[in-house]
Structures are given as structure tokens and as C-alpha cells.
Chain A
Amino acid sequence: MILPAGWITPLSGLVFGILFGFVLQRGGLGNGCRLSAQLRLKDWTVFNVMFTAIIVAAGGLYILQFAGLVSWSELYVPTTYLWATLLGGALVGAGMGVGGYCPGTSVVGAAAGRIDGIVFFIGLVLGVVVFAGMFPGLQPLLNAAAGPQAQTLGDLLHIPNGLVLVLLIAGAVLVGWLSRRAPTSKSISCAD
């Protein structure tokens, strides 16, 4: 059998969503105090969780592809629009610095009773409305500097994706080692 299985139904959305929300909550990523503390380099939970997850998922996909079980060309690989991708990332980062969350983590925070998480989510909807209002003026920016379709770092750097994976692991290990003394700084006291 060649994967992906094409199981795109409401049930699969619920199943993977439940697992996603469960893991984020137990990893402490529904907590705006901890999330924003990463941006002040006082807590390294966000970085360590995210990069470990990327390496595990990317490594798994890479190995399964190597074993002939996964067809990489059927996986969704987003395309870079240099300025839009970078600016959007910057604004999502600013949103976390100001409000403490990103879109997914606001849902996780809200589920544990955080009213600021609910308000952040309402803000997300308003942000989309503002974007829609400005859409005609933004369009040239959104489509500027488009990269090749579905480009991977391996394509960009002209190296095999296996080597990209090795470099990512090396980077994650290095940052994990450098931040080992301050996984959570004593100067913050995030509740959970």
C-alpha cells in the first residue's frame, strides 16, 4: 500500500484534531505566559517541542518514502511567496508577543478556561475580515517573489533532503544543548 491514504473526512479531522489538541495541552503550549516567554528567550519549550516534532515527522516521512511506502509527490508542500511568507510569519510572531498565542494555541488555551485565549480567537476572525477588506491592495505583495512550486530546502540548497534532515537534527541538538540550563527560567512562573 502506498500512502497517503486519502482519508480526508470530518472523522479524520476530529481524530487528528483531538490528538493535536491533547498533545499541545499536555506539552504546556496552551499557556500564553510560556509561549510569549520563548520570544523573550526565558523558556525554550516552544522551540524544543516544535523542532523535535518537525524532525520526528520529517524523519518518519523520509524513511517511509525511502522504503517505498510513501509517495512524496502526493504530500502537500506549500510554496514560498518570499515577502508574504516572511511578513505573515512576522505578524503571527508579533501577535504572540502581544497576545501570547498563535491561532492553534489560542484554541488550546481557551479549552482550559483561558478567557484571553477566547478573545485572541475572536481577534483572529476580525484579523481575517481586515485582511479581506484590504485584499485588492495587498495582492501584488501576496504574489511577489514566488518560489518554485512545492520547493523543499533540499531543492533550494541543491543538497539531498536526507542531509537537510541531518542539519536540522544538528541544529536542534545544538540549541537544545545551549538552552539546557534554562529550559524554563526561574524568572517566570507559568502556572501550567
Chain B
Amino acid sequence: MMKTRPIWNAHVAGVALGLVLLGTFLATGHGLGASGTPTAIAAAASQAVAPTATASNGYLGPMVSGGAHPMDAWIVWEVLGMGIGALIAAWWAGRIRWRIEGPTNLKTAGRIGFALLGGVLSGFGARVSAGCTSGLGLSGGAVLATAGFVFLIGFFLFGMVTGFFTRRFWQ
């Protein structure tokens, strides 16, 4: 049995995350993101399955026009790195284990259904706001952007409303 390590104190993790974010800004001029990668995957998959419809779509079309490859983007490398970094951390902490978590008061099918629905809401929402908790909340916050804080207000307030209505599904 591998030794499991407890998670970092939240303020220690916050300082570490802040330094990574600062380093990213100093190196690239922008912050860290995430939702750009599912967007790139959606554009590439849509292009592979239905090229004509993709080209004529107002949102995905510009991403594939002129032979452009939506997956050829900095954010795709960054999210790939996220997966690798999280894997290393989880391995180091002895936390790697196949499991289905999600709302613990639901059975497997319900947990998978909630995860899928949550993902759809989040993926749709992150396109409406052109950024997610990382790209707008965290990175926008780091440059004191009004947009970052407007996003976070919507995120926490409506998140709490949703959290209230879904509380009986979670422990």
C-alpha cells in the first residue's frame, strides 16, 4: 500500500498557484486557462464528422477556415500539461485509483448523468463568457480585470443557488 499524503493547506496551495500564475504571465503575457481545449476538441471533432456544417458555422467555422488546425494551440499543450502534472501529483501522493465519485447519494448511472449534465452546462457557459474559472476568474483576477470579478460573482452566486438545490444528492 502506497503512502497517501494529505492535501496542502489552502493558503500554501494558494501561494503556490499564485506563483505559477505569475510565472505564466511573466513568460507569456497571458494567464492559465482550460475551456479553450474542449473548444478546440469540439471544433476538430466537428470538422472530422461534418466538415461542411463546421465550415458554415458562425462559431466553429473561423477556427477551421483556411486549413487551420484548432488543436494547434497553446491552450491544448497547457491542458495536456495539466493532466500530466496532476497525474504526477496524484501518483506522488498515492491517490491514483479508478473510481466514480460525483454526488454520493446517487447510484452509478445518476453520478455519470450528473457529471455529463454538469459538463454540458459548464462547457456551454464557458463559451458564453469566453472563459472559465481558470481563464477568466483566476487569470482575469490576477490582472484585476473587471471581467474576472464579474465572472466570479456570477460563478459563486449562481453556484451557491445550484448547490442549495442539489444538496441532497451530495453528502
Q: Could you tell me which residues of chain A, from 150 to 179, have a CB within 8 Å of some CB in chain B?
A: 150-156, 161, 164-165, 176
The answer on a CB contact under 8 Å between B123 and A102 is no
A91 within 8 A of B: yes
Q: Could you tell me which residues of chain A, from 15 to 66, have a CB within 8 Å of some CB in chain B?
A: 15-33, 36-41, 44-45, 47-58, 60-61, 64
The answer on a CB contact under 8 Å between A103 and B34 is yes
Contact of A78 among B99, B112, B130 (CB under 8 A): B130
The answer on a CB contact under 8 Å between A100 and B101 is yes
Task: Please name the residue on chain B nearest to A18 by beta carbon.
Answer: B85
The answer on a CB contact under 8 Å between A75 and B25 is yes
| In the complex with contacts A93-B158, A112-B86, A192-B7, A85-B147 CB distance below 8 A | yes
The answer on a CB contact under 8 Å between A23 and B59 is no
| In the complex with contacts A51-B14, A85-B147, A94-B158, A112-B97 CB distance below 8 A | yes
- Contact-residue bracket for chain B: 35 or more
Chain A residues with CB under 8 A of B121: 91-92, 94-95, 98-99, 123, 127
The answer on a CB contact under 8 Å between B100 and A100 is no
- Contact-residue bracket for chain A: 35 or more
Chain A residues with CB under 8 A of B122: 91-92, 94-96, 99, 101-103, 106, 120, 123-124, 127
Q: Could you tell me which residues of chain B, from 43 to 89, have a CB within 8 Å of some CB in chain A?
A: 43, 45-46, 57-60, 74-89
Q: How far is the CA of A80 from the CA of B14 in the complex (A)?
A: 25
Q: How far is the CA of A165 from the CA of B130 in the complex (A)?
A: 25
Is chain B's binding surface mostly helix, strand, loop or mixed?
helix
Chain B residues with CB under 8 A of A24: 17, 82, 86
Q: How far is the CA of A11 from the CA of B116 in the complex (A)?
A: 31
| In the complex with contacts A16-B32, A39-B159, A88-B128, A25-B20 CB distance below 8 A | no
| In the complex with contacts A17-B79, A75-B29, A86-B150 CB distance below 8 A | yes
The answer on a CB contact under 8 Å between B86 and A86 is no
Shortest beta-carbon distance from A126 to chain B in Å: 5
A182 within 8 A of B: no
Q: How far is the CA of A142 from the CA of B133 in the complex (A)?
A: 18
Chain B residues with CB under 8 A of A74: 29
Chain B residues with CB under 8 A of A124: 35, 38, 119-120, 122-123, 126
The answer on a CB contact under 8 Å between A115 and B99 is yes
Chain B residues with CB under 8 A of A31: 101
The answer on a CB contact under 8 Å between B146 and A121 is no
Chain B residues with CB under 8 A of A100: 101-103, 114-115, 118, 170
Chain A residues with CB under 8 A of B157: 90, 93
Q: How far is the CA of A41 from the CA of B156 in the complex (A)?
A: 10
Q: How far is the CA of A175 from the CA of B2 in the complex (A)?
A: 36
Chain A residues with CB under 8 A of B23: 16, 19
Shortest beta-carbon distance from A43 to chain B in Å: 9
Nearest 7 interchain pairs by C-beta: A99-B118, A123-B119, A17-B81, A88-B129, A127-B123, A52-B14, A56-B18
Given contacts A47-B156, A84-B129, A164-B144, 13 further A-B contacts (CB under 8 A): A30-B90, A33-B101, A45-B10, A57-B18, A88-B126, A92-B159, A107-B83, A123-B118, A153-B144, A154-B144, A155-B146, A187-B171, A188-B171
